[in-house]
Amino acid sequence: MGAFEKPKFFTTTKEFIVVVSLLTVLLLVRLLFEYQSYQSFISKPFYYTYAKVMTSYEKSKGGKRYQVLKLRGEKGSVFYTTSHKKNDFSHKRLRLQLFPNESISFQSYLGTFYVKSRIKKVQNIPRTFKDTLLSKVALQHQNNPLQSFYKAIFFATPIEKALREKISMLGVSHLVALSGFHLGILWGVVYGLLLLLYRPLQQKFFPYRHALFDVGVVVMLSLGSYLWFVDFPPSLVRSYAMVLMGWVVLLLGMELLSFTFLTTILLTLVVLFPSLLVSLSFWLSVAGVFYIFLLLHYVKAFNKWVVTLFFIPFGIFILMLPVVHTIFGITTPYQLLSPLLSLLFIPFYPLVMLLHLLGGGDLFDTGLQWLFSLPQESDENLLPLWSMVGYIAVSIGAIWSKKLFYMVFIVATLYMLYLFISI
């Protein structure tokens, strides 16, 4: 180890293997208990529970209209059911009789599943502070899509279908779905502001204190409260765990940007929350962090501003294309704006938070309406699953081989050229 090199997260490969093995065993045990709970659930002819309505929307089939309800159960499970009642289910808590059966797979049970039900009772839920904030945000915008946009980036609420399609066409879904990107911005803003207040006090009254610890504790508690406030979105849970562990690692003076660190956090999370195993947003956020680590692994010698303003936004956009286009096929030339929009979002996010607190949240409405109106048509380009599996396998190999990293980057770049030139 060099004179200025930080100690590694694990001192030996053996330590890493032991920890990974232990976490894998714990995961298997957790899954065994979850499977037993699943078997008990589907074997019952019916099941009574209370559930809170998260969202509801109308659909029609065979000329008949019905409502689809997305619900959160008493134990945190999320599931869908349908109702032919014309009630307004906003801010409602339901007493349900569920009728589970073997059509519900174990994978669906871990994530989100559909189950037939009968509504026994409808209860009003008192308006909360979050509801008040949502209303205040909505009142600052006359346009429903913009109301939906700001609610999503502040409170992780679902966005309406038409706007979701426009956002996909622009390639900025990662900016709207709360993730580590948002948490990183919030950490930087809150930590920076608190540090400005803390430094003069530290120098005058307690110069022996460690700013990273004192200010970091307040920031982590604030971000944890925010995570609870927005109902623990999977990608945000992963991000918070990484920020928390990263903060601890920095306090210990250890190497932060390591793949052993990422692997340990990943396994710890799925042990604690097995439902993350079937969360698409979680795995996409993991892939994004992995490619950030991979990129930094080979470009860390460059100027920090070049890395931040060029390599990360443009490099991650290119490297993630084969992964994203195995799952989402929507393609438009406007997706090439994604790296630039990601950079602009860094100052935009805290600024619009402040503007909404001051009652001027509509400042950028005209510009956003113009932006969302740009894409009109899209092509569908999906990569086969085997190609993504091979791409990810080579990407993992690139951790140890610079040649493989260049290969991965060249393949991703060629795919980008093919994708957008062929439109």
pLDDT in tens, 64-91: 889 999 999 988 888 999 998 888 888 8
Domains of the chain (ranges plus CATH)? 44-126 (2.40.50), 153-421 (no CATH)
pLDDT at 342 over 90: yes
Instruction: Give pLDDT, residue 242.
Output: 82
- Residue 282 pLDDT grade (very low, low, confident, very high; cuts 50, 70, 90): confident
- Comparing 176 with 238, which gets the higher pLDDT? 176
Q: What are phi and psi of 7, to 5 degrees?
A: -65, 145
Residue range 216-244: mean pLDDT, rounded: 89
- Work out the number of other CB atoms within 10 angstroms of the CB of residue 76: 10
pLDDT at 366 over 90: yes
Instruction: Give pLDDT, residue 5.
Output: 64
- Residue 3 pLDDT grade (very low, low, confident, very high; cuts 50, 70, 90): very low
Instruction: Give pLDDT, residue 2.
Output: 46
Read off the pLDDT of residues 190-200 as tens digits, 9 standing for 90 and up: 999 999 999 99
Rounded Cα distance between 400 and 370, Å, is 45
Q: What sign does the CA torsion over 114, 117, 119, 120 have?
A: negative
DSSP label of 300: T
**Residue owning tokens 């307040």:** 218
Instruction: Give pLDDT, residue 58.
Output: 87
Write down the pTM of the prediction.
0.91
Give the least confident one: 132-136, 255-259, 270-274, 277-281: 255-259
Rounded Cα distance between 180 and 167, Å, is 18
Instruction: Give pLDDT, residue 281.
Output: 86
Instruction: Give pLDDT, residue 11.
Output: 85
Rounded Cα distance between 28 and 421, Å, is 46
Residue range 187-191: mean pLDDT, rounded: 94
Maximum mean pLDDT: which of 85-94, 140-149, 155-164: 140-149
Instruction: Give pLDDT, residue 422.
Output: 74
Residue range 338-358: mean pLDDT, rounded: 96
Task: Output the average pLDDT for the chain.
Answer: 92
The residue type found at 370 is: W
Instruction: Give pLDDT, residue 61.
Output: 82
- Comparing 78 with 255, which gets the higher pLDDT? 78
Give the least confident one: 35-39, 136-140, 177-181, 363-367: 177-181
Long-range contact set of residues 38-42: C-beta below 8 Å, sequence gap at least 24: 38/106, 38/109, 38/110, 41/100, 41/104, 41/109, 42/100, 42/101, 42/102, 42/104, 42/109
Residue range 11-29: mean pLDDT, rounded: 95
pLDDT at 26 over 90: yes
- Work out the number of other CB atoms within 10 angstroms of the CB of residue 18: 12
Give 313's contacts (C-beta < 8 A, 6+ positions apart).
339, 340, 342, 343
Give 183's contacts (C-beta < 8 A, 6+ positions apart).
223, 236, 239, 240, 243
pLDDT at 239 over 70: yes
Nearest alpha carbon to residue 152 among 83, 166, 319: 166
pLDDT at 189 over 70: yes
Read off the pLDDT of residues 120-142 as tens digits, 9 standing for 90 and up: 999 998 888 999 999 999 999 99
Tokens of residue 136, six digits: 């205040």
Rounded Cα distance between 213 and 247, Å, is 9
Residue range 146-173: mean pLDDT, rounded: 93
Instruction: Give pLDDT, residue 257.
Output: 78
Nearest alpha carbon to residue 244 among 267, 265, 228, 226: 265
pLDDT at 111 over 70: yes
Report the relative pairing of strands 112-114 and 78-83 from DSSP bridges: parallel
Read off the pLDDT of residues 291-326 as tens digits, 9 standing for 90 and up: 999 999 999 888 888 888 899 999 999 999 999 999
Give the least confident one: 66-70, 84-88, 96-100, 384-388: 84-88
Tokens of residue 209, six digits: 């204190």
Give the least confident one: 158-162, 198-202, 339-343: 158-162
Whole-number percent of the chain with pLDDT over 70? 99
**Residue owning tokens 């109106």:** 373
- Residue 62 pLDDT grade (very low, low, confident, very high; cuts 50, 70, 90): confident
- Residue 1 pLDDT grade (very low, low, confident, very high; cuts 50, 70, 90): very low
